[in-house]
Amino acid sequence: MVIVKVEYNFESLQNCQCGACPVHDGSNCVAQHTNGLKFTTCSSDPPAADVEGIYCSAQKGASSCHDLASAKACLCPTCTVWKSHSLDTAYFCINGAAQ
């Protein structure tokens, strides 16, 4: 199976589920960084550094937040971006972009 690298773009941002993920949810760092807003309502591509999500893309990679709940179940395998790119790992927010 060939893995297609995830591009950081508007379509991927709209389909990303990181903002609803239990691993991501509850992070004080993420809440402060995003002011509680979800990027799924954006109308353009915000700079990757301003987004807490789409961690599977090479342009974003792992979160700079260190209070993510790694013991909680990751939503990556249920994400459209994950499925459409034939990804086979998860916890990109902690481990970094898909290889």
Of the listed ranges 8-17, 39-48, 86-95, the one predicted with least confidence: 39-48
Instruction: Give 14-67 as a 3 state SS string.
Output: HHCCHHHCCCCCCCHHHHHHHCCCCHHHCCCCCCHHHCCCCCCCCCCCCCCCCC
How does residue 10 score in pLDDT terms, banded at 50, 70 and 90?
A: confident
**Extended beta strands in the chain, E state:** none
Is there a contact between 56 and 43 (Cβ–Cβ < 8 Å)?
Answer: no
Residues 78-90: pLDDT tens digits? 999 999 999 999 9
At position 79, the amino acid (one-letter code) is C
How many angstroms separate the CA atoms of 35 and 63, rounded?
16
Domain boundaries along the sequence of the chain: 10-95
